[in-house]
Structure formats: C-alpha cells, structure tokens
Amino acid sequence: MTDKLDIAALVGSRICHDLISPIGAIGNGVELISMAGSITGPEMMLISESVAHANARIRFFRIAFGASGQDQRIGRLEVAAVLSDISHGSRVQIEWDSPNDIARRDVKLVFLLILCLETAMPFGGKISVNRSETRWSLTATSAKLRADAALWQRLQNPKAVVEIGPAQVQFALVPEELTRQHRRLSLEIGVAEIAVSF
C-alpha cells in the first residue's frame, strides 16, 4: 500500500508541475490584455479570478498530494500565501500559526487534514492551525458542521470499510501518511467544532 501511495504522490507532483506553467501563462496573458485595456468588464474580472483560483488550488494540491522528501522544508510565508490565495472569496477562512521553517511533510499532512475539515463545513467557518513545540493542532469551527461519521472514523481506523470517492480521497491518504510519519491522530468532533491533532 505504501508503494502505491508513493506512486500516487509522484503522479500528483507531476500533474501539478505540468499544470502550474500553463495556468501561470494564462494569468500573464490575462494581465497583459487587462493592461492594454482591449477587454474590460465583468467577463475579464471573472476570467482573472478563475485563473487566480486555479493557480492557488494547484499550489495547494502540489503540497497536499505531491511527493515530499524527509528533509524538504517550506517557509511559513509561502504556506501563508498559498492559504491566503485559496481562502480568497471562500466561505472557509484559514488561520495559520507555525515556526518560520517547517518540514514539508508536516505541511502535507496538515493540508490533507484541512481538506478533510472542509468537507464538514459546507456552509463555511474557520480553520485554525497551530504548531506547538511537539504537536500540530487544527480546529474547525462552524455554526453548521456536517461531519460524515464513517469518513472520520476511517482516520483513526484505516481498516474501517468506507466508500471513498474522488472528493474524499484525503480520508484515504491521511492514515497512510500518519503511518509513514509514525504519528498518531487525536480527534474530537463536537456540535460546532472539530479538533484534530498529531
């Protein structure tokens, strides 16, 4: 299973790598057209926002689903920029508090957990991410949480039989990443809050 997931991470990295350049080029083209003033109006704004959102999601997915070496690092400012871009215009806002220099594999696991938390927040809310000296903690708060109990059970019991579709693939990847990193997940689900730590 580990080998398959390593291959999946390499495929994720390859897809994101191959898509980031053309999306960036489209963004540059839109900017040039905008500066020339040849096309203006709501249509141009929609294209601009869509390109920015696609770019942000690809950068997020590259970390969440891509390969991460044991010694790879990532800066807090880069993580904050990615999260700020994907949160722009979203119902779910993300607050990040961590040291300046972070292991990329830690961020990978946190991003996968953010994707899990988002599934429980269809009406929006806030996700707070904090790194203490020893643990990562994520807290999702929403007035209307909708947590699928079976999916969340899978995070603590990877052998649980749960039907997982493409939109829930993160629930299959988190347990494997926890095993790879030799970490254990703590989970509490309340009426208006989900708390996760590892």
* Joined tokens for residue 191: 């009426």
Percentage of the chain beyond pLDDT 70 is: 96
Which are the contacts of 128, defined by CB distance < 8 A and separation ≥ 6?
A: 94, 95, 97, 137, 138, 139, 141
Q: What is the pLDDT of residues 46-59, one digit of tens each?
A: 888 888 889 899 99
Phi, psi of 177 (to 5 degrees): -70, -35
In terms of domains, do 104 and 169 share one?
A: yes
Q: How far apart are the first and last CA of the chain?
A: 22
In terms of domains, do 5 and 30 share one?
A: yes
Model confidence at 79, pLDDT cuts 50, 70, 90, reads very high
In terms of domains, do 105 and 195 share one?
A: yes
Q: What is the pLDDT of residues 84-139, one digit of tens each?
A: 999 988 999 999 999 999 999 999 999 999 999 999 999 999 999 999 999 999 99
* Joined tokens for residue 58: 């690809």
Helices (H) and strands (E) in the chain, counts: 6, 7
Angle at 171 between CA 169 and CA 175, to 5 degrees: 120
**DSSP-derived secondary structure for 131-197:** E-SS-EEEEEE-TT----HHHHHHHH-TTS-----GGGHHHHHHHHHHHHTT---EEEE-SSEEEEE
User: Do residues 138 and 112 touch, judged by C-beta distance below 8 A?
Assistant: no
- Edge-to-edge order in the sheet of strand 186-189: 92-97, 125-131, 136-141, 193-197, 186-189
In terms of domains, do 61 and 77 share one?
A: no
In terms of domains, do 44 and 82 share one?
A: no
Domain containing 58: what range? 1-67
pTM confidence score: 0.86
User: Do residues 86 and 57 touch, judged by C-beta distance below 8 A?
Assistant: yes
In terms of domains, do 54 and 82 share one?
A: no
Alpha-carbon span 168 to 22, nearest angstrom: 27
In terms of domains, do 175 and 194 share one?
A: yes
In terms of domains, do 100 and 63 share one?
A: no
In terms of domains, do 80 and 39 share one?
A: no
Q: What is the pLDDT of residues 163-182, one digit of tens each?
A: 999 999 999 999 999 999 99
